[in-house]
């Protein structure tokens, strides 16, 4: 039974094309064509997507310009354009978590 459970977990985790990196670092973002900036926390990152936690909700389809500042040397600072594909309320209902599909990415310095 334990062997079967291990194989199930392993086969399920391998369905992802790219592994997620847990990075929990600051992120600054704004809607495309807007000068209003928001602050949040980048929870995790993969080659195709990002999970951000913030006080503001963004509906699916919203395009954002983000600037991520990893605190560890796993990645340099980078800018990206993402499209919000999912939003959920955090457990204590004080913040939101939204997943974004990365459309464009570049190593960058802050604005």
Domain ranges across the chain: 18-107
- In sequence order, what are the residues at sequence separation of 6 or more whose Cβ sits closer than 8 angstroms to the Cβ of residue 94? 55
Question: In 3D, which of 58, 63, 55 has the Cα closest to residue 34?
Answer: 63
The answer to whether residues 72 and 24 touch, using CB atoms and an 8 Å cutoff, is: no
pTM, 2 dp:
0.77
In this structure, what DSSP letter does residue 58 have?
-
Six token digits for residue 15: 């369905």
Superfamily of domain 18-107: predicted glycosyltransferase like domains (2.40.10.220)
Determine the 3-state secondary structure of 13 from DSSP: helix
pLDDT tens by residue, 15-71: 555 566 777 899 999 999 999 999 999 999 888 999 999 999 999 999 999 999 887
Give the whole-angstrom CA distance, residue 40 versus residue 6: 35
């Amino acid at each position: 039974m334990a062997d079967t459970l291990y194989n199930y977990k392993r086969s399920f985790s391998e369905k992802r094309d790219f592994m997620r990196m847990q990075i929990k670092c600051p992120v600054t973002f704004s809607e495309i064509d807007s000068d209003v900036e928001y602050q949040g926390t980048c929870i995790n990152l993969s080659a195709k997507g990002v999970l951000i936690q913030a006080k503001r909700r963004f509906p699916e389809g919203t395009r954002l310009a983000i600037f991520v500042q990893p605190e560890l040397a796993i990645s340099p600072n980078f800018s990206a354009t993402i499209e919000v594909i999912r939003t959920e309320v955090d457990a204590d209902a004080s913040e939101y978590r939204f997943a974004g599909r990365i459309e464009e990415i570049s190593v960058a310095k802050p604005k």
